[in-house]
Structure 1
C-alpha cells in the first residue's frame, strides 16, 4: 500500500486516548450505529481512525478480517474523500472500499455496515465523476438499494437516512423532479422527511446539519436560504470531536467560501 497523505488538522493536545474514545463513542457513532468493540486490536484500529491515522486504521482493520472491515472501509472512504490529492487514486480507493463491502454483504448480510460502506464510497465516487453520468450507468440505483438495505437492518442508522436523503436531493437537483421520480425513484417530500429523521436520530451532528442545509437548497431553492443559514450557524457553534469532524468542517467552509 502506497503511503497516504497525512492529515494535519489534529493537534497533539486534541488526540483521543482509549479512555476518551470510549466516553465519546456513543456521540461519535450515533450516525453509523457501530457498537463499541470488545476486541483490543479492533479498539486500536478505531482509535487510529478517530485520530486521523487513516492508513493505519485501514491496515489494522484489514488484518482483522471481517471484524475489521467496517473500520477499514470507513477509514479508506474518509481518507479518499477528504485527503487523497490524486483523482485516479481517490477513485480507486473509493471503489476498493465499495467492492470490499459488497463482498462482505455475502458473508454477513445482516451487518448494516456492510451495506452502508458500499453505498457511501460509491456515492462519493458518483459526486466526483458527475451525478448525471453516474445515474446513466446505474450507480445511483446501487447506492439507493444499499442504503435502503442498511436502514432495513438498522432503522436507527442516521447516516444511512442522511445519505439516502442526499440521493433524493442530488437526483432532483440534476435531472428535475419528474425525471427523478419516474426514472430513479427520487422524491422531494421523501428526501425532506429523511433529512428530518436523520437530524432527529443524530441531533446537533455536524454532518446532519450541514447535509440538511445543502439538501434544502437543492430541494427548495433560494426560499430555503434562511433555514439553511440557521443550520450552518449551528454547525459553527459545535466543537469537532475527532479528525473526521474536523475534516468535514474544513471542507464545508471551503464549499461555502467558494
Structure 2
C-alpha cells in the first residue's frame, strides 16, 4: 500500500525540515522526487541520501514566477509529467499586528502565499491536460486557531488553507485532488535555531515548554508529517479532496 512507484513528485522546501522528510518518505515509496529549495547546499545534502537515478535537485526561489516556470519546464522535460506537488516551502515570523512591519508582512506573504500560488499555477496546466494530479499544501494550526505573536504567519497560512479549498473545488472535474495538512510545532532545525537565538542559556527549558504546548506532550517529528503526506498523495486517498488535516498532538481540540 501507499506505493508511489512511477509517480513524479515535486516537493518545495526540500532542503530541510518537513520538506526534507516528505522527500525522504516519498523516495522510500519509490517516487521520482524533484527537490526544490532556495538553498543549493541544503538541497545537495538532501539529495545525497536519496537514490541518484530518481532524485533531482532544482535551486529555485518560489517567489519568482519566472523561476518557477523554468524549473517546471525542466521537470516536465525530465519526467514527462508531474503527478504530485507538495508545497512545503515557507518562513515563520514572530510578531503581533503592531510589531509587524510592512516589510515583514510582504516577505511572509511573498514566500508563504505567492510561492504556493506560483507552484500550483505552474503545475495545474500539465495536470489538467492529463486529467490527473495531486496537490498537497502545508498549512498550520495557525490557519484555524489564534496563535499568540504570529500575526503575519497566521495570515499566510490562512491563505494557504483557503487556496487549497478553492483549487479543490475548481479542478475536481479535471481529476485534480487538493488537500492540506496543518501541523502544530514540529521539531525541525528552525525550532532549534529559534530557541538558541531568542533564549540563549535556556534552550532545554524553552524546548520543554514549547513541547508541552501540545497536549500530547511533545513536538511532532518531521517523519510523522511525511507519513501523512504519503497517504494523502497516494492512490489509496483517491476519495479525499478539499480537506485540511490537523496533525497537532491534540492542540486544536484538547487545548482548553
TM-score tier, shorter chain, comes to 0.3 to 0.5
Identify, as 1 or 2, the structure richer in helix: 1
Task: Return the TM-score normalized by structure 1.
Answer: 0.34
Relative contact order, higher structure (CA 8 A, sep 6+): 2
Task: Return the TM-score normalized by structure 2.
Answer: 0.34
